[in-house]
Amino acid sequence: MKPIDNSIGSEKTRPILFGQRREQLGKAMGLAARLPLSKDRAMQTKHLSSNPATGLVPRVLPPSPDVPADELAARLKSIRREMNADGFDVIVISDVKNIQYFTDFRSNSYYYNSRPFFALITAEDLMLFGGTYERAYVEWKERSFSAAYYAGYIDDAVKLIADTVRDLFKGKAPRVGVDYGEEMSGRASLFLVDALRDVSARGDLKSATATLWRVRQIKTPFEAELKRTAFAICNEAFDQTIAQARIGITEYELWRMMQAQTFLNGAESGDPFPLPVIFGKGDFTYGRPPSARRLEEGHYVWADFRATYGGYSADRNRIARAGKPKAWELETYKAVRDVTHEWCHLVRPGMTAADLYNEGNKLWGPVNVGNKFSLHTPGAIGVRIGHGSGLDLVETPALGPDDRTAIRPGMILHIEPKLERDGAVFQCEEVFYVLEGGIDFLAPLTPETLPTIR
């Protein structure tokens, strides 16, 4: 397949045309009929309120589509191949994203702690476990899986899972894996661990996360389009909100405006936290929630998105400066942006994540002088300049010096070096889909010029 031309010309930021980009990739992949957006319905707008101060504009965007049956079947075929390679007879999955990935089952009850969902994969079966009150919804339409129901709470679910494994293997002790491990936060339960050890061969329960990631790391064009839509939703929300912002606005007010616009643009959820937005002038603490702090001349706005479309997250950083930047700030912004883009274009299928980090770090070194963001200090534990993503906000591989994962076509990767210097923060996160012959950016490139708030 000829790689899609994703050139941006002068690289000036242009609004992403939801329908147009979808049509371009969709036609190339033969997927136009099943991807989520329609050119005829793309981004029609109307004002939400007669009060112009709100600046909130709803967008017409259809609900995300079901995952096609052939795509679900391909995912199941892939995990069974990897299970066989790793010696698993059964994998029990409890992470919501894993369950959604293999079943395309979406429920408002996913996040209940008392009556959680689980699923089970064998060479022959894909089975969902849920509370009895879920039966009507599960059976509401044809599904790609069978289901079993438990009355009660999590210990009752665990008993049902263990009994089901015994029944499926009829006295044989299978080799069992569970999705507890790196970058997967399965529904942790000592009851489940004990029960699965009891039915496992030699009482040996193993993590199946490496097996699962080898499948989930490779995204289809259908998945890439859901990601592209999520990024478009959030990218526009940032631009729309920054255009309405003013010196003196509070963090909390800007956060609410940006969060509201994100959902009006079509976001379907905002987990795990809708949208971090902070102001700073040399005192950035990225984990804190927005406060009553007011935007001052010289502050930097740092935002990182969490909204999803079809379950696929739009993790992307954007920044803006309050007031007119000084010459050194514009120069530094350009340097960080240029290196970030060069780093993206270093990607070649077959190289490892560590190779990508090390090659790009040669470009980053001269820019990185005096950086206060200590996570990126050479030799620091957990250092990375990017990561994979998909259904989860952050997925493997970690683009750092210690990750030997081979980069393969179909991965979605983020490059996001961050520089804190002299009270300012510079970060130009870019996201792309790895192709056989290059990369396809899934969001418009960050602006050539540092966005400002007057």
pLDDT band at 111 (very low <50, low <70, confident <90, very high): confident
349-384 exposure pattern, b = at least 16 Cβ within 10 A, e = fewer: eeeebbbbbeebbebbeebbeebebeebeeeeeebb
- CA 430/CA 433 separation, integer angstroms: 11
Rg (CA), the chain: 23
Instruction: Average the pLDDT over each of 16-20, 211-215, 373-377, 412-416 and give the range with the smallest value.
Output: 16-20
pLDDT of residue 186: 85
Q: What is the mean pLDDT of the chain?
A: 87
Contact 264, 56 (CB under 8 A): yes
69-216 fold: Creatine Amidinohydrolase; Chain A, domain 1 (3.40.350)
18-44+219-453 fold: Creatine Amidinohydrolase (3.90.230)
pLDDT of residue 43: 31
- Other C-beta atoms within 10 Å of 143: how many? 15
Whole-model pTM: value is: 0.87
The 10s digit of each residue's pLDDT in 282-296 is 999 888 899 999 999
The residues, any chain, with a CB within 8 Å of residue 348's CB and separated by 6 or more, are: 407
Q: What's the Cα-to-Cα distance from 382 to each of 261, 387, 399, 412, rounded to whole Å?
A: 34, 12, 10, 20
- Other C-beta atoms within 10 Å of 64: how many? 20
Contact 240, 254 (CB under 8 A): no
Q: 115 pLDDT exceeds 60?
A: yes
Tokens of 404: 């030997």
Conformational region of residue 248, where left means phi above 0, alpha means psi within -120 to 50, and beta covers everything else? left
- Closest by CA to 30, choosing from 220, 219, 313, is 220
Tokens of 354: 């560590």
- The 3-class secondary structure across 164-231, one letter per residue, is HHHHHHCCCCCCEEECEECCEECCCCHHHHHHHHHHCHHHCEEECHHHHHHHHCCCCHHHHHHHHHHH
Contact 313, 387 (CB under 8 A): no
Placement of tokens 């996160």 in the chain = 429
What does the pLDDT average to over 299-326? Answer: 95
pLDDT of residue 36: 42
pLDDT of residue 62: 93
- The ranges assigned to domains in the chain are 18-44+219-453, 69-216
- Closest by CA to 120, choosing from 165, 78, 159, is 165
Query: Where does 272-344 show beta strands of DSSP type E?
Result: 277-280, 300-304, 308-309, 312-313, 317-322
Q: Which helix (H) or strand (E) holds 25?
A: helix 18-29
The 10s digit of each residue's pLDDT in 41-53 is 333 333 333 334 4
Contact 312, 291 (CB under 8 A): no
What does the pLDDT average to over 138-159? Answer: 96
Measure the CA angle with vertex 453, ends 300 and 339; round to 5°: 55
**One-letter amino acid for residue 369 of the chain:** V
pLDDT band at 120 (very low <50, low <70, confident <90, very high): very high
The 10s digit of each residue's pLDDT in 246-282 is 999 999 999 999 999 999 999 999 876 668 899 999 9
Chain centre distance of CA 106: 17
The 10s digit of each residue's pLDDT in 28-86 is 334 433 344 333 333 333 333 333 445 677 888 999 999 999 999 999 999 999 999 99
